[in-house]
Amino acid sequence: MSEGSGGQPVTFKRILLKLSGEILAGDKHGGIDPEILNALVRQIREVRDLGVEVGVVIGGGNIFRGVQAGSQGLDRVTGDYMGMLATAINALALQDRLEAEGVYTRVLSAIEMKEISEPYIKRRATRHLEKGRVVIFACGTGNPFFTTDTAASLRAMEVGAEVLLKGTKVDAIYDKDPVKNKDARPYHEISFMDVLQKGLRVMDAAAISLCMENNLPIIVFNVGVEGNLRRIVCGEQVGTLVKG
């Protein structure tokens, strides 16, 4: 554990936070809930003020999901690119609110959109993090058939994050769906292999395998609880730890 620039000991100096687009929608069926967005911004600013370097990969499911393409008569590849553009909308919204709170932010996109973001370059992303800027990675990997979960795993390893934090609407990984099963039991710690073998819907298999092969721990937690992000970077047990 090291001491952050805010004077408080922190367990992780550089993190990658994965947020789904659905989280931004809150209780709505789609779009961006301003209250949810502001609450996320407060948590990100809080850990940034501790001196933690923060990267964010954000999904676009609140606007469009590539997997919906087939049911809507669209080609899957076209649908995936539409989903990538949806992540860019969310990234810009998050950037706007962060900078309104005085947090320097950069959006780096896997698909070049020079008028609104910088192209993703590993060295540039790392340099922004070193300078204390929150870096938001948009458009996933830039390739169809890969989810933003996989993009989060990839970016986390590329920029040297110490942990991948999967912010969800539930407080842990359960052995079965806690919404449908009252006897569902949470895991405080579980191995990558068990997640894959048990078919637990934490992240997609490609993302889990990538983290397992590179020994990158994942913490799944409820990002909707104010202060949870700070608790994790300060070393408290929150959510479920997935590791080798």
- Give the tens place of pLDDT for each residue, 115-131: 999 999 999 999 999 99
Distance CA 127, CA 80 (A): 29
The encoded tokens of residue 8 equal: 């408080």
Residue 59 Cα to chain centre, angstroms: 8
**Burial class of residue 223 in the structure, from the number of CB atoms within 10 Å of its CB (0-12 exposed, 13-18 middle, 19+ buried):** buried
The two structure tokens encoding residue 209: 């395998």
Residues 186-203: pLDDT tens digits? Answer: 999 999 999 999 999 889
- Under the banding of pLDDT at 50, 70 and 90, the label for residue 69 is low
| Domains along the chain with CATH numbers | 2-243 (3.40.1160.10)
Report the pLDDT averaged over residues 156-173: 96
Give the global pTM.
0.93
With 90 as the cut, is the pLDDT of residue 180 above it?
no
Model confidence at 185, pLDDT cuts 50, 70, 90, reads very high
